[in-house]
Amino acid sequence: MEENRSKLGTAAFMTSLYTKATAAADCIRSLTPLAPRLGIILGSGLGNFAAQVEDPTAIPYAEIPHFPQSTVEGHSGKLILGHIAGVPVAVMQGRVHAYEGYPLSEVTFPTRVLGLLGCKSLIVTNAAGGINTTYRQGSLIAIADHINLTGSNAAAGPNEARFGPRFFDMTTAYSPRLRSMAQAEAAKQNIPLTEGIYLAVLGPSYETPAEIRAFRTLGADLVGMSTVHEVIVARHMGIEVLGLSLVTNMAAGVLDEAINHEEVMETGRRVERRFTSLLTALIPRIASR
Ligand code: HPA
């Protein structure tokens, strides 16, 4: 796409991004009559939640025009449409990341498509490293706000007004309404759920201990390599966002041990029951307005 951008010129690039997202949405509509109200993006180790979708239509990303495909283990790459607790949903099982070499227009392409399909709300989940020392491996955190240290913004470039305005507010990017619903549901189910600030880096290397100390000073509680771009694009389109992080490991230097991807996936499996039960109960609450 980056190459196309220079060939077409930037304004034509945005038009073609809209055209491509429309083509992807049309393809999905041709495969199922289901009109999703809520989108869910499943992060590393959390992909099994997709089994909650009733009467699913599962579409491999490879079969959707222009959808990027993940190269990372644990991000299987299917869009699953169906119902959860009576709510029409579209679940992304797997996402692509900028560290894989994808431009942000591709990283956020599926979010654009969810918006065009009619999703009014988006639940974004991720695996994250815990910077806040009160967190533990396996803690679930509702994202209260983010710090984008990736050096880039998915909404940069010529603005496509059919997606949203040139400048847009990020004061309440992580919806206070959805956050308070998440707190209420977690309390009801006796699931500890604190709030935290998510700081995004490009990756793919995990951070150094010095970086983690610096991020703590900046006010970060969590660190990860995803989410912020999808949230920026969702807010551009006026979609309400709930962000949930799973602390799969304590960030570099917090404990006296190395970080590895297997640990990240394993923690996902360990908290699966809690995560599934919280999310399943939240979905009808979020959709009922
Ligand atoms: N750092 C960055 N991203 C991550 C981490 C981490 O420690 N754990 C899971 N995703």
Residue with the bigger pLDDT between 2 and 105: it is 105
**Would you call 99 a catalytic residue per the annotation?**
yes
DSSP string, 233-287: HHHHTT-EEEEEEEEEEEPTTTSSS---HHHHHHHHHHHHHHHHHHHHHHHHHHH
Q: Where are the domains of the chain?
A: 2-287
More confident site: 211 or 2: 211
Going by pLDDT thresholds of 50, 70 and 90, the confidence category of residue 129 is very high
Tokens found for residue 198? 């998510």
CA 9 to each of CA 6, 12, 13, 31, 112: distance values in angstroms, whole numbers, following the listed order: 5, 6, 6, 33, 21
Query: What are 198's strand-pairing partners?
Result: 146, 222
- In angstroms, the CA 198 to CA 83 distance is 29
For residue 159, name the pLDDT band (cuts at 50, 70, 90): very high
Which of 82-86, 180-184, 214-218, 266-270 is least confident? 266-270
**Residue range 158-186: mean pLDDT, rounded:** 96
Which residue type is seen at 270? R
pLDDT at 44: 82
Annotation says 146 is catalytic: no
In this predicted structure, what is the pLDDT of residue 262? 85
* Tokens 């969702």, residue located: 234
pLDDT beyond 70 at 13:
no
Which ligand 1 atom minimizes the distance to the CA of 206? 1
For ligand 1, residues with CB inside 6 Å are 127-129, 206-207, 223-225, 248-249, 251, 259, 264
Judge whether residue 286 has pLDDT over 80. yes
| Topology adopted by domain 2-287 | Rossmann fold (3.40.50)
Residue 285 pLDDT more than 60? yes
pLDDT for residue 45: 82
How high is the pLDDT of residue 233?
98
Distance 275 CA to ligand 1 centre (A): 18
Residue 131 has pLDDT above 70, yes or no: yes
pLDDT of 189 strictly over 90: yes
Mean residue pLDDT across the chain = 92
pLDDT reported for residue 268: 80
pTM of the model: 0.93
Catalytic residue, chosen from 58, 184, 214, 261, is: 261
* Tens-place pLDDT, residues 228-261: 999 999 999 999 999 999 999 999 999 988 888 8
C-alpha 287 to ligand 1 mean position (Å):
30
Catalytic site residue 261? yes
pLDDT at 1: 47
Q: Express each pLDDT in 225-235 by its tens digit.
A: 999 999 999 99
Q: Minimum mean pLDDT among 41-50, 84-93, 177-186: which range?
A: 41-50
